[in-house]
Amino acid sequence: MKNIFLNTALLGLTVLSFATTCATGRENYLSPQALISSENENLLYVAQGSARQVAVFNTESGKLIETIDVPAEPTGLALSADGAQLYVTCAGPEGRLCVIETAANKIIKQIPVGHGARSPVLGPDGGMLYVCNRFSNDVSVINTRKNKHVAKINPPDVRRINVLREPFAADITPDGKWLFVGNHLPDGPADAESVACRVSVINTKTMDIDVSISLPNGSTALSGIAVCPDGRYVYVSHILARYTVPTSQLERGWMNTNALSIIDAGNKRLIDTVLLDDVDNGAANPWAVSCTADGKYICVTHAGTSELSIIDAPALLKKIKARYSSRIENRASRVENELSFLYGIRRRVKLRGKGPRALAIVGCRVYVAEYFTDSITLVDAGSAGPDHARLRRGKKSRPETIALPLGPRPQMTRRRRGEMLFNDASLCFQNWQSCASCHPGGGRADALNWDLLNDGIGNPKNTKSLLLAHKTPPAMITGVRDRAETAVRSGIKHILFATCPEEDAIAIDEYVKSLKPVPSPYLVNGRLSRSARRGRKVFDKAGCASCHKGPLYTDLQKYDVGTGKGLDKDVEFDTPTLVEVWRTAPYLYDGRAATMKEVLTTHNPGDKHGPTSNLTDNEINNLARFVLSL
């Protein structure tokens, strides 16, 4: 192990030299966000999102081989068993799966997939490949053998399977029969009895969803999923939000906790959910999850606290079994709030860089990609694993870690620093959450209702996307903040329960201002569909354009549109922008409308929110299509 770590230390120097002399100039940041290893060749492939390239280097010799340019942001990697083909998902409205021949490190073909392609998964025999299309809300299925000799961009035989909402991560059982797909956000109304993201289980023989497994109430921002090596369990990383209580404090995970859910793969049901936090130290924003090949350890990255959790898997399962009776049906509804549950069976390893996301495990070596510092930390899982005897004596072994820079130390602009701070839970009291905990996906929304104290208690509101917030004052749903700058500083004080230098708040402002709308999946080749074009005329006919006007589709005014109830009856609400509204379901101030059609029909009493009762069903459908295309 010492020789391995010496060799990889040299790697850092080699990569630094290469990146300094061979920078493309196209992007100052690399932003590593996906990793995969080829153990036979001692290679590690790194998807570098901002640079739009895949880096290839040898982990034993410490030599960077080269970088491969790809047509769009690379979001995921899969490698054939023989290491001959590397599959790279490239995000964008017209997502692509790039097939790279590793002998020459050249793209040999590009296969059209879906909007926001990510997280490719190869079946165990390498014959089928599955791609999560995040914004198309489906999974592409590609026969790699049938399409082996397909022309470069000729449409191959690709099947699509609809899932739920923002499929973000996936893994497959060792027998190839079941694909588990983690949906990033909850679907359905926000005022339901339970609001949580779900795991779709796809039968790979029938290509249908067999079941959707609900995670505990408040589960959101699902970011990682892994099937254990023997196929018995599936591990899912996500936030567990306590959105049903007023946001009056943070102690003991009052607002957001961070969790690992365990699914019985055979029975396809949730066994338990355990908290990754400690009593007075949150483990914010769990991201990637993976298992060592021997099944001994479960590894989870924490993007908000720049840590790696290494959990003793057999000890975890034993402890769960002891906590509950043998009746598995009772377990899913008995989520414990035990912040010390992992004590003695988990180690939290502080990493060298910032913003860890992806990880790759080779033997006992764990490579963690650090998004904001353009680096990798290499952790010796053997030295970092829980040592029960030492813990009982009150001693802690120090895990061996090595920092591996992937390029020159990035010189952060104010905007980039603001992005890092937005995702950094060290700004928060006891590290429970970051701004991204409630605004995942780059300042968007978590689909939950929160009872913030800025407008009283007992009147929860649905989380708003921060896109265009600085251009559409006032801020918050009821306009209680005069502008987004005020809201940012109030959020730091009253949600993160912290103070920070004004320069940090300014940096966060710059990041939020830089957010760009993602083209709608309802567009056809980047343009309005025929239905949406008809809907644009209905938009004017129904008077929607009187309030939702101009390029931002808002007049920046407040109105009572008849939707308020309870403590919010007769309250005036800020006119929201409709730009990227396709991404912000559920709708209305309390998220009671699961779909845009419900906004226009079910939840428009007396036509106070626009005269829609006299519209035909076709007109309503066309209108909804237009709005969702913005």
Note the pLDDT of residue 11. Answer: 39
Residue 3 confidence (pLDDT): 42
Which pLDDT does position 147 carry in this prediction?
55
Which pLDDT band, with edges at 50, 70 and 90, does 41 fall under?
confident
Give mean pLDDT, residues 417-422: 98
Distance between CA atoms of 177 and 186, rounded to whole angstroms? 26
In the predicted structure, residue 13 carries a pLDDT above the cut 50: no
Q: How confident is the model at residue 390 (pLDDT cuts 50, 70, 90)?
A: very low
Model confidence at 79, pLDDT cuts 50, 70, 90, reads very high
pLDDT at residue 5 in the model: 42
pLDDT at 15: 37
Q: How far apart are CA 142 and CA 322, in angstroms?
A: 42
The amino acid at 467: L
Q: What is the average per-residue pLDDT within 281-306?
A: 97
pLDDT at 151: 44
User: Residue type for 128, please?
Assistant: M
Count Cβ atoms below 10 Å from residue 608 Cβ, excluding itself.
12
pLDDT tens digits, 436-472: 999 999 999 999 999 999 888 999 999 999 999 999 9
- What was the pLDDT predicted at 149? 47
- Looking at residue 98, its pLDDT comes to 97
* CA of residue 376 relative to chain centroid, distance: 20
**Is the pLDDT at 492 greater than 80, yes or no?**
yes
Q: Does pLDDT of 589 surpass 80?
A: yes
Specify the pLDDT at position 284. Answer: 98
Q: Average pLDDT of 584-594?
A: 97
Cβ–Cβ < 8 Å for 201, 268:
yes
Size of the chain, expressed as the number of residues it contains: 630
Q: Which of 67-76, 283-292, 327-336, 524-533 has the lowest mean pLDDT?
A: 327-336
Q: Residues 597, 599, 602, 606: is their CA dihedral positive or negative?
A: negative
Residues 141-171 as b or e (16 or more Cβ within 10 Å = b):
bbebeebeebeeeeebebebbebbbbbbbbb
Q: Dump pLDDT digits (tens) for 605-620.
A: 899 999 999 999 999 9
pLDDT of residue 89: 98
Sorted by where each starts, the structural domains of the chain and their CATH numbers stand as 416-513 (1.10.760.10), 530-628 (1.10.760.10)
* Side chain identity at residue 344, one-letter code: G
Q: Which pLDDT tens digit goes with each residue over 251-291?
A: 999 999 999 999 999 999 999 999 999 999 999 999 999 99
Condensed to tens digits (0 to 9), the pLDDT of residues 159-187 reads: 999 999 999 999 999 999 999 999 999 99
Provide the pLDDT confidence category of residue 26 given band limits of 50, 70 and 90.
very low
- Percent of the chain whose pLDDT exceeds 90: 82
Q: Which of 6, 1, 16 is nearest to 402 (CA)?
A: 6
In order, the DSSP letters of 120-141 are EEE-TTSSEEEEEETTTTEEEE
How far does Cα 118 stand from its chain's mean position?
A: 11
Q: Confidence band (pLDDT; 50, 70, 90) for 143?
A: very high
pLDDT tens digits, 195-248? 999 999 999 999 999 999 999 999 999 999 999 999 999 999 999 999 999 999
**Is pLDDT at 397 greater than 50 in this prediction?**
yes
Residue 440: predicted pLDDT: 97
Assess whether pLDDT exceeds 70 at residue 155: no
Mean residue pLDDT of the chain comes to 90
Q: Which residue has the higher pLDDT, 583 or 147?
A: 583
Is the torsion defined by CA of 407, 412, 418, 424 positive or negative?
positive
Q: What is the mean pLDDT of residues 341-351?
A: 95
Question: For residue 38, how many other CB atoms are within 10 A of its CB?
Answer: 21
For Cα atoms 326, 332, 336, give the angle at the middle one, nearest 5 degrees: 95
Cα–Cα distance measured from residue 9 to residue 380, given in angstroms and rounded to the nearest whole number: 13
Strand ranges inside 20-177, DSSP E: 32-38, 43-48, 53-58, 63-69, 74-79, 85-90, 96-101, 106-112, 117-122, 128-133, 138-143, 158-162, 167-172
